[in-house]
Amino acid sequence: MTENKYVIDEMISAKTIAARVEALAQEIRGRFNDTDKLIVVGLLRGSFVFIADLVRELDLPVEVDFIETSSYGDTMESSREVRILKDLRGEIEGRDVLVVEDIVDTGHTLNHVLQMLQSRHPRRLEVCALLDKPSRREVDIKATWTGFEIPDEFVVGYGIDYAQRNRNLPYIGKVRFPTA
Ligand code: IMP
Ligand code: MG
């Protein structure tokens, strides 16, 4: 599969992403403006570029932590069974928590992570997802804030990979396999 040649068509430009990240940060700041500390939790690895840009636009006292969940492997299909590969370093009980995710697809990953975090009794728990593919949803879940809703396409760039490649693209593009 990964041997097949594919091309990447730009879908969302770096400039459009930057403007949206700024707007999202404004909304998040409005929601948490009274916080003494916001714990921003990135889901590895896909959210690493997004979280880096987002926290730099967030004019709040923040702490950054990460969770890593089992991924798709090298396929384009969700495994649906979510495992925690790396847990938070810090406690979140009684704290304000913002989960930062790259894409909400079937919803299984976010659902699993939120249930786990909720069981630790944070004061507030919200989610900011860069992308949402609502047509793919299998679990009824939605991020508090979404950057862009996109159709059912496999995308890469801005932290998001296909078989670990293309995370360093500054824009978001869709993967296409040209028919010979
Ligand atoms: P879900 O559990 O099906 O919602 O999957 C969420 C995770 O699958 C995301 O955090 C991504 O890491 C990955 N994923 C979903 N769609 C894509 C895609 O189009 N490109 C790359 N990774 C994706
Ligand atoms: Mg992910």
Per residue in 1-30, pLDDT tens?
A: 546 799 999 999 999 999 999 999 999 999
The reported pLDDT for the residue numbered 66 is 98
| Mean predicted confidence (pLDDT) in 81-91 | 94
Check pocket membership of 132 for ligand 1, CB cut-off 6 A. no
Q: Whose CA is nearest to atom 3 of ligand 1?
A: 106
On whether the CB atoms of residues 144 and 97 are closer than 8 A, the answer is no
Q: pTM for this one? A: 0.95
Helices (H) then strands (E): counts for the chain: 3, 9
CB atoms within 10 A of CB 121: 11
Check pocket membership of 155 for ligand 1, CB cut-off 6 A. yes
For a mutational test of ligand 1's pocket, the pick from 2, 67, 83, 103, i.e. the residue with the most ligand atoms closer than 8 A to its C-beta, is 103
